[in-house]
Chains A and B, each alone.
Chain A
Amino acid sequence: MRPARVQLLVTCLVDRFFPGTGESVVRVLERAGVTVSVPAGQTCCGQPAFNAGHDDEARTLARYTIDLLSASDDPVVVPSGSCGDMVIHQYAALLADDPEYGPKAQALAARTYELTIFLTRVLGVTDVGAQGTGTISYHPCCHGLRGLGIAGEPKALLAGVHGATTCPLPEAEVCCGFGGLFAVKMSNISGEMLARKLDAIEACGADTIAVTDVSCGMHMNGGLRRRGSKVRVEHIADVLAGEAPGAKERS
């Protein structure tokens, strides 16, 4: 059944760093005919703590987020493969021994979707009425690609953007080197991985690279800016919301 309402888990990075992207997500979902609610009091899903091996803190944040999203039975949409993977796969594993939250985690996982998966597989939409310009390419973020199995969905959505063309990205499935704290703790390796990714991005001929995660996006954009490149990485919601590429609002 096609859901009429969804809860948006906006993610802490979108919330504090890229609020415009959060609004793009809402716009795209509403345009697809879905009513969006934003459960108040959202913080962090706990992925950074889990990623760093601090499982206790990750569990604390998981329980908090589970409670927040369990007040309603509406499906949950996350504009991130990484946070999506956390809620969909890692919560249940982290809380496997918790008799109360283990089952809650599983129930939440069953109704949580990454944005592009929700649009294409649940709503069955690839044309969201988006307007664009220029050439758009796509970098598959690792956790979405290999954690959630996001495959052709974002490309199908991008192909549905009116007025824009798409082009392939060489070595698209090679990680950009973000990896959360990895980019700070092992910043030199991360920087070399980023350079490799940016070389491919600049060579592919696109004006815009669409991604499913603002985290990888800010990593690549940070590198592109440092290089003085004109190419910009955009969250796919910003592309699909029909804003002119490169002009995303970030007040």
Chain B
Amino acid sequence: MNAVDVPFYRRVEDALTKTRMRQAVRHTSGRAMESRRAAIAELDSSDAIRDQARAIRSRTLAALDQHLDTFATNVEKNGGTVFFAETGEDAVEYIRRLARDRGIRTIVKGKSMVSEEIELNPVLELDGFEVVETDLGEYIVQLDGDKPSHIVAPILHKTKEDCARVFKEKLGASDEDVAGVPQMTQLARRTLRKAFLKADMGITGVNFGVAETGSVTICTNEGNGRLSSSLPRVYVAMMGMERLVPTAADLGVMLEVLGRSGTGQRLTVYSNILSGPRRPGEADGPEEFHVVIVDNGRSKVLASELAEILYCIRCGACLYACPVYQQIGGHAYGSVYSGPVGSVLSPALAGIRAFHDLPHASTLCGACREVCPVRIDIPRMLLRLRAEGVEAGESPQWVSLGMKVLGWLGTRPRMFNLAGRVAARAAGLAASDGWIRELPLHLSGWTASRDFPAPAKESFQERWAKRHGGAS
């Protein structure tokens, strides 16, 4: 996972000053939500297919070890090689050694969040390999020395003008080359085509592994996944340990909810199902077919109360739907996994201490749960992580103290009421017309952009008791 050296509130402050980025995020999120809505509306019952998808994920994870065994056996039966990487370093080391042993010079990469998670590219580049991202968004991110801000749409935070600047600066593109999105796409296509032709290794992520067939499935809209996986002589598929479905029939359901939720498509333009290296007599395909299965904390999550987050199929709908993400964009989260799912997954994988702020970056409005194609109860897990943060001593002192006081007063109604009266008296001094313009200390954030109501001198219960003579 990414190192988090800048505190969350700083990253948020920074993000909120980036007006153009925020407009881009809000605009694109809104459009994506519209497409999703339309794609979901086509279904007779979106609830039924989501229930079905959830049941598949639940069934898969309940017996994940068995499915992984079946999957590995079948990959090997197909002529592929499987490597189980317990840690990110193990995975990086395997790929790095493989590249060295095979005398690789150029590596083309399809989109892979798990490779971002384990920070594969910098290590390979340091070793002298030329690494080229081939997903258009990832390519622009790479050219610009930037980071993806969305798990499906890496340059959600960039406008087309931003992209034009990158192409001009990094590729020396002419004004004509960057006159519009089609021109820029053509330029990237021309440049990437050369990389595809000279690459001797391809690495992609995996949307779903299919246990019964030992296949990996890659969903793209640009076809870069199939070029990366079939042109170079060595192919490496990288998948998170949980990204399996038991059967090909299950895959059908998952592809449907993925396309509709993630990009508002019935299916992504390309859904490639790869089952091993090139066989004798076949025209194309790699000579070697490796599947690197990455644990990197997932076993621990699977055994925890947060296991449900592993149902995630990385469609990105919860990011689009999140009113917090829409304000701050993905980079502020300081993790490759941003938005609601990232606020659970990042601390779940890397530990609460590294990402203790993220579970609090939510109003618990539930929009994420509403759109999730596998109905993950993200708010419940954010709450669980908040509790873990408290247990780990990450709750700010003033909050912990406040909650202790609340717990104490809350079981002593007379004291509770007295405290209310005192607060009302104090607030009365600071208020005008019943509202306070400036709260002190930790509460000052509230009054930075809104007034705060002064408590009433006489509470409802006091008034009620007067009228009804004590208890009800």
Check A152 for interface membership: any CB of B closer than 8 A: no
Asked if B450 and A251 sit within 8 Å, CB to CB, the answer is no
When the two chains form the complex, which single residue of B16, B364, B470 contacts A40, counting CB atoms closer than 8 Å? B470
Contact for A185 among B367, B424, B445, CB less than 8 A: B445
Q: Of A18, A55, A175, which contacts B456 at CB under 8 A? A: A18
Q: Is B434 an interface residue (CB 8 A)?
A: yes
Q: Using an 8 Å CB-CB cutoff, how does the interface string of A129-142 with B read, 1 for contact, 0 for none? A: 00000000000001
Q: Which of B413, B435, B455, B460 has most chain A Cβ within 10 Å? A: B460
B460's partner among A15, A54, A188 (CB-CB below 8 A) is: A15
Q: In the docked arrangement, what's the CA distance between A173 and B389, Å? A: 29
Those of B387-406 within 8 Å (CB) of chain A: 387-390, 395-396, 399-400, 403-404, 406
Q: Given A16-B455, A49-B406, A189-B324, verify A146-B370 contact (CB < 8 Å).
A: yes
Q: Which of B196-204, B272-280, B283-291, B355-363 contacts A (4 or more CB under 8 A)?
A: B355-363
B3 CB to closest chain A CB, in angstroms?
22
A-facing residues in B314-355 (Cβ within 8 Å): 323-324, 327-328
Answer yes or no: B449 CB below 8 A from chain A CBs.
yes
Q: Which residues from A are CB-within-8-Å of B363? A: 142, 175, 177-180, 182, 190, 193
Q: Once the chains bind, are B364 and A179 in contact (CB under 8 Å)?
A: yes
**Segment of A112-120, A153-161, A201-209, A219-227 in the binding face:** A219-227
Q: Indicate if the CB atoms of A194 and B461 lie closer than 8 Å.
A: no
- Do A175 and B323 touch across chains, with their CB atoms under 8 A apart? yes
For A218, the chain B residues whose CB sits under 8 A away are: 452-453
- Chain B residue nearest to A185 (CB atoms) is B360
Q: Among B367, B410, B448, which residue has its beta carbon within 8 angstroms of that of A64?
A: B410
What residues of chain A lie closer than 8 Å to B453, measured between beta carbons? 17-18, 218, 221-222, 250
Interface residues as binary, B167-204 with A (CB distance below 8 Å gives 1, 0 otherwise):
00000000000000000000000000000000000000
**Interface assignment of A98: CB less than 8 Å from any CB of chain B:** no
Most buried by B among A44, A64, A184, A195: A184
Given the known A-B contacts A17-B455, A23-B463, A175-B323, are A222 and B442 also in contact in the complex, defined by CB atoms under 8 Å? no
* CB proximity of B87 to chain A, nearest CB, Å: 29
Main secondary structure of the interface of A (DSSP, over half): helix
Q: Is the Cβ of B366 less than 8 Å from the Cβ of A142? A: yes
Q: How distant is the Cα of A94 from the Cα of B315 in the complex, in angstroms?
A: 31
Contact B403 A40 (CB under 8 A): no
A169 within 8 A of B: no
Give CA–CA (A49, B416) in the complex, Å: 15
Q: Are A38 and B390 in contact (CB under 8 A)?
A: no
Known: A60-B411, A175-B363, A188-B448. A10 touches B461 (CB 8 A): yes
A52 and B361 form a contact (CB under 8 A): no
Q: Which residues of B contact A57 (CB under 8 A)?
A: 403-404, 406-407, 410
Given contacts A177-B363, A189-B361, contact A52 B403 (CB under 8 A): yes
Q: Do B435 and A53 touch (CB < 8 A)?
A: no
> By the criterion CB–CB under 8 Å, are B400 and A54 in contact?
yes
A239 to B275: give the CA distance in the assembly, Å.
Answer: 64
Do the beta carbons of B445 and A184 come within 8 Å of each other? yes
- Whether the pair B451, A222 counts as a contact (CB closer than 8 A) is yes
Whether A103 sits at the interface, judged by CB under 8 Å, is no
**Interface membership of A192, Cβ < 8 A:** yes
Residues of chain B with a CB closer than 8 A to A55's CB: 387, 390
Known: A16-B459, A142-B366, A175-B365. A43 touches B16 (CB 8 A): no
How many of B's residues come within 8 Å of A, CB to CB? 70
B464 A179 Cβ-Cβ under 8 A: no
Q: How far is the CA of A225 from the CA of B432 in the complex (A)?
A: 12
Q: How many residues of A contact B (CB 8 A)?
A: 68
Is there an interface contact between A251 and B456, defined as CB atoms closer than 8 Å? yes
What A residues does B16 contact at CB under 8 A?
A: 188-189, 192
Is B54 part of the contact surface with A, judged by Cβ < 8 Å?
no
Residue B94 CB within 8 A of the other chain: no
A-B pairs with the 6 shortest C-beta distances? A187-B445, A179-B363, A53-B386, A57-B407, A222-B450, A146-B366
Given contacts A64-B410, A64-B411, A221-B453, 15 further A-B contacts (CB under 8 A): A15-B461, A40-B472, A42-B413, A50-B383, A51-B386, A53-B390, A54-B407, A145-B366, A174-B367, A180-B363, A187-B448, A188-B16, A193-B324, A226-B449, A250-B456
By a beta-carbon cutoff of 8 Å, the part of chain B in contact with chain A is: 9, 12-13, 16, 323-324, 327-328, 359-367, 369-370, 383, 385-390, 395-396, 399-400, 403-404, 406-407, 409-413, 416, 420, 423-424, 434-435, 442-443, 445-446, 448-453, 455-465, 468, 470-472
A-to-B contact residues, CB < 8 Å: 10, 14-19, 22-23, 37-44, 46, 48-57, 60-61, 64, 142-143, 145-147, 173-175, 177-196, 218-219, 221-223, 225-226, 250-251
Q: What are 9 A-B contacts defined by CB distance under 8 Å?
A: A10-B461, A19-B456, A42-B461, A60-B407, A179-B364, A184-B446, A187-B446, A196-B327, A222-B451
